[in-house]
Structure 1
Amino acid sequence: MKKLKLREVNQYLFFFPFVGESTHNMENKNQTMVTEFFFSLFPRFQEGGYLFFIPLLFIYLFIVIGNLMIFIAVRLDARLHNPMYNFISIFSFTEIWYTTATIPKMLLNLVSDQKTISFTGCLLQMYFFHSLGNTEGILLMTMAIDRYIAICIPLRYPTIMTPRLCVQLNIASCVFGFLILLPEIAWISTLPFCGSNQIHQIFYTSMLLVQDIIHAIAILFTVLIIALSYIRIIIVILKIPSTEGRQKAFSTCGSHLAVFLLFFGSVGLMYLRFSATYPPFWDTTIAVMFAVLAPFFNPIIYSLRNKEVKEAIKKLLCPKEI
């Protein structure tokens, strides 16, 4: 078995600050293996933790209810049974579980005296958080390609984006998002962890997932495809002679572009966070933006900027008024 020095381990495991001994030292000392970890950044509920608990609970409920309404409204409204809204509904459904991977544990840590998580819980949180994030990134790429076909080659759109292809793309997004991280998780689960068991963050993740070459290439490829699609879309839209035509074309992809910028903008901040050392306040702020604030704005963007979705939600909530 290859021995990893402490410097090498820390290079790959940014959020394993409890690795306090090199493999060589661990082999020479009788130490108890770490099975439970403590979050050090959460205040006690009686000491001001409620100031964070209440807004975080509101944000989480808003994310869950907002995305659930979008998902149900799209599924029930026959006018929205097309590829674009199908992808939006799947993205909204995925967003619910993406935030559920981290926020409920954060809420529990704010009210509990024992702010702990097991080693198995660490791996599960890390796996589902990043897998669902990857799935969302692939779905955003699929949405961009869908809008590219609809706007740039509209005559071929019905024959290309068939219902069968939409189902296949949704399944492929989930399968790829969850399978790409399995080798990394399996490798991390075999590492011995000793020493300090303090986690100096608000949720558990790993730098290995960002530094890994395959993972980085997948992100760059996704961003490149989305960027090229929207560049081409914008060029085609600007060539439309009528102002009304341009506005209609922009309205169909404006919400997708906004969510894309918000999602990958927060991913970019996470990269900066991994590549530089920040004070605890800014480090936590970036993590909150990535895991909490970006998902919070997504249902707002898709509901307020999309007339059809607004009407479908209104019909769902007030059926007698429609």
Structure 2
Amino acid sequence: MSDTSTMSAARLGRLAPGRWATWPAVLYLIITTQIPLLATLYFSLHSWNLLYPQRAMGFVGFRNYASIFSDPVFKTAIINTLIFTIVPAILTTAIGLGLALLVNRLRYGRGLAYSMLFAPFLIMETVNPIIWKNLILNPIYGLLNYALGTFGLSPIDMITTAPKIAIIIMIVWQWSPFMMLILLAGLQSVNQETVEAARIDGANPWNVFVHITLPHLIPYLAVGMLIEAILILPVFGPIYVGTYGGPGNQTSNLMFSVYRTLTEQYEIGRAAAGGIITAVMTTVAALGLLAYVRPYMERN
């Protein structure tokens, strides 16, 4: 009798409105994420060029992946992808932490400071490089060279002479406010009674920061870097608008290389393989950071 009751309860649980009401959302996620992923994986195993429609699609196995790893352009793109992910993640963490510490100490005008400091993050990804390329880094009328001329220094064309640094600056400028917001939430949740007790015991501000504030911020730092790594790794706007991958291929990352392969060479198979490699790199980065974050999240 009890077994029958248990089976009936389980059957009713599967038929409960709370269960079947989620099916449309699950079906939508499958259609919008898994089916395109499977289609991309399928195309990556085939040779198909839109410039030659008379040629039938042919199965080539992992030849597209092998050609990507043997192509100097894609090798540069993979290295640049790592550079444009790791370096901005580190710099935005440092800058975001500094801004969060400053804003957290404000007593007046905090709302205005929030608005001004968070504004770069709200700018569209393609508008960000337009601002930097035309208003700040322009070698003729940019603000950077105007400031250099004020001190008697020679003008520089950073987009041409140091394009990677220019791309990193654009990414860091846009994403530092995001890290600031996450760390500011962490700072505002620090136990003030513990801080006051430490000060009474003679701890100076540096000791309070190192032994109380920073350990408390570690989960926030990890989560912020996890989100940034996922979103910055396939960055496209600053490269497309700022340098178009140049000079040559110096600033081309995987996402931009996939775009050029698809729109200039019309190689569907190689472009799909590049997309799969980008997705794998993003997943590996996310899982690695998630494994680091989980102990701190469970502890808190």
Q: Same fold (TM over 0.5)?
A: no
Asked which structure has the greater CA Rg, the reply is 2
